[in-house]
């Protein structure tokens, strides 16, 4: 099932901590390997402190894909999407996760921990990690995402 030889970068804030730990446990049993960028408890933290290092590590090609988690998925996605080579997609159902990969070549899945179940999140991440980018007409669009000044 694993689609990459590289480990997967993962990070969360306090609201996503429990979901992050569940994902690591379930998906590790399926052969996935994770590099955990934090946080390491449910104590209140500032999510940019964990997402910036994760995004930089994906930009420098240490990781191909990442998983970021906060209460809504929005805050962590906003931080990650500041990086030119990051395409973070907030995913709240399996079809969004599939299309984020197929049509947008998303390389980071952002999960809204307060709005999805643990069981569903595992399926969303499985789908995200195993779905290929379709390319074709979508590649032209993805190539236009980067801001030009």
- pLDDT tens per residue across span 74-113: 999 999 999 999 999 999 999 999 999 999 999 999 999 9
User: How far apart, in Å, are the Cα atoms of 61 and each of 7, 46, 108?
Assistant: 11, 25, 13
| Residues labelled catalytic | 70, 103
Phi, psi of 109 (to 5 degrees): -100, 130
pLDDT band at 1 (very low <50, low <70, confident <90, very high): very low
DSSP structure class, residue 47: T
Reference 85, options 102, 52, 63, 107; nearest CA is: 107
CA distance 89 to 142: 13
Residues in the chain, total: 149
Work out the average pLDDT over 101-128: 98
Reference 91, options 57, 133, 132, 120; nearest CA is: 120
- DSSP three-state, residue 30: coil
Q: Give the pTM.
A: 0.94
Work out the average pLDDT over 51-69: 97
CA angle 117, 37, 132 (to 5 degrees): 60
Question: Between 17-28 and 118-130, two packed helices, what is the crossing angle to 10 degrees?
Answer: 60
Percent of the chain at pLDDT above 70?
A: 95
Pick the CATH number of 8-143 from 1.20.810.10, 3.40.640.10, 1.25.40.20, 3.40.1400.10: 3.40.1400.10
> What was the pLDDT predicted at 143?
87
Neighbours of 149 (CB within 10 A): 2
């Amino acid at each position: 099932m694993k689609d990459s030889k590289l480990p997967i970068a993962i990070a969360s804030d306090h609201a996503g901590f429990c979901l992050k730990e569940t994902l690591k446990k379930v998906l590790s049993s399926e052969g996935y390997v994770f590099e955990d960028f934090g946080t390491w408890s449910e104590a209140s933290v500032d999510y940019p402190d964990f997402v910036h290092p994760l995004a930089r590590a994906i930009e420098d090609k240490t990781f191909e894909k990442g998983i970021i988690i906060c209460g809504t998925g929005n805050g962590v996605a906003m931080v990650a999407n500041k990086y030119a080579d990051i395409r973070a997609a907030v995913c709240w159902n399996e079809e969004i996760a599939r299309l984020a990969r197929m049509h947008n070549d998303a390389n980071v899945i952002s999960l809204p921990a307060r709005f999805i179940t643990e069981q569903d999140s595992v399926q969303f991440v499985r789908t995200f990690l195993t779905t290929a980018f379709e390319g074709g007409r979508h590649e032209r669009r993805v190539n236009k995402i980067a801001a030009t000044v």
